[in-house]
Every structure is written in structure tokens, then in C-alpha cells.
Amino acid sequence: MNPLDPTIQKTITYVKKVLANAEGGHDWLHIERVWKLARQIWKLEGKGDLLTIELAALLHDISDPKFNSGNEELGSQMAFNFLKKNNLDNKRIEHIQTIIRYVSYKGGFPQDKINSIEFRIVQDADRLDAIGAIGIARAFNYGGFKNRPIYDPSISLQEYKDSKAYHRSNAPTINHFYEKLLKLKDLMNTETGKRIGQERHNFMLQFLERFYDECGIRKGNSD
């Protein structure tokens, strides 16, 4: 295996330190999965600046607004401070900051501020980690962290007026599948993301079918 770029190694050490006590779905292991997925997508797509992709993937959740009182700029500012300290060029830093600002789902509201291949790859990698088996595990882990009910048929699906309302939601975790997770396969940017996304989407549908069956409920799911 080729040795890691020194900047990548420093970034890994930094992120591990900052996220040492993070919630289990947004910890270092989440970052590591997204980083490895981004590298996989880059290799299969055959385009994009790898260093930018890797650094953006590693730093994309360095300060998630869900855990910092809704500050959507803190993560990109922390990334700037770290990368500047490590002598990265300004153009690449600005690109990475922009990716961090716009990579997250934010309730599915349109995000047309950036459309580089590096952004598309990192966003696909992050979204892939939100679906499939690991996505199911993360959803219920976060729901438990927020003390949300697993399932409550009396609470209907919600339409959010903006990303802040989306982040404030205390809806049951099962509702989250319909409000976000099942939408992600159609939002993938790359062919690799679309292929992996469809496989993980299908697994979530199987899970939901089994979940409702064990609850004694017959409910159809769209594909």
C-alpha cells in the first residue's frame, strides 16, 4: 500500500482528535467510510483532483450544525484554519470550504452553489453512508441520541419549510426514511454513486417491509 500524503495523515490525526467524543453516527468511523467511498468513486469515475476530494471528505463533518447549535459556517472555518496552518494553497482551500458548506442534505432543499466533480464525488460518498445497512444503523443511533420514538403511526410525515426546520424535527426515526433516506438514490451525482445507491436503497426497502411485518402492519413501499 502506498504511504499516505503527509497532509492527509495530519488531517486524519486532527479529525480523530476533534471527533473523539462525537455521536456514533457522525464520528471518525463515519468520516473514514466517507473518505474511502470518495476514493473508490474517484477511482471508478476516473476524474477529479484526489487531494481535494480526500481533504473535503475528511473534513466535511468536522463541525456538523446538528451538534453545534446550528452554526453552518463553523465547519468550513475550522477547515480553513487547519489547512492554512498546513500550508495548503488558497484556491484548493476555498474549494474545500465550499464543498463543506454545501455537501450535506439540509432537508433536500436545492443547493446550486457548486457543481464541481470533486463536490459531486464527496457528496455521493457522504450520501451513500446515509443509506443501506450502515445508514439504517446510523439513523436509529441518532434517533436514540435525540430520544426520538422508533415508530409512531400517529405522527405523519412532514414537509419542512427550510433546512433549519428540518434539523429541528423530532419525528420518529421511521419517518426519516421517507423524509430523507429513500430519496437519496435519486440524488446521486455519479454513475458509481447511482449504482451503489440503488443497491443500498433496495436493502432499506427490504428492511422496512420486514419492520412493518413484525409490527403486524402491511404497508407497500415504493422503489
**pLDDT tens sequence for the chain (223 residues):** 467 799 999 999 999 999 998 888 899 999 999 999 999 999 999 999 999 999 999 999 998 777 776 677 888 999 999 999 999 999 999 999 999 999 987 644 455 567 899 999 999 999 999 999 999 999 999 999 999 999 999 988 877 666 666 666 788 999 999 999 999 999 999 999 999 999 999 999 999 999 999 999 876 555 5
Q: Rounded to whole angstroms, how far apart are CA atoms 141 and 39?
A: 26
pLDDT of 107 reads 47
pLDDT of 69 reads 65
The torsion angle over the Cα atoms of residues 79, 83, 84 and 87, rounded to 10 degrees, is: 180
Report which of 57, 52, 87, 185 is spatially closest to residue 127, judged by C-alpha positions: 185
CA distances from 166 to 2, 42, 206 (A): 42, 30, 26
Q: Rounded to whole angstroms, how far apart are CA atoms 190 and 145?
A: 32
For 96, left (φ over 0), alpha (ψ -120 to 50), or beta? Answer: alpha
Chain mean position to CA 27 = 11
Report which of 146, 166, 147 is spatially closest to residue 158, judged by C-alpha positions: 166
The secondary structure of the chain in percent helix, strand, coil, rounded to multiples of 5, reads 65, 0, 35
Residues 55 and 7 sit within 8 Å (Cβ to Cβ): yes
Phi (first) and psi of residue 153, to 5 degrees:
-65, -15
pLDDT of 161 reads 63
Q: What single-letter amino acid sits at 163?
A: S
Q: What single-letter amino acid sits at 56?
A: A
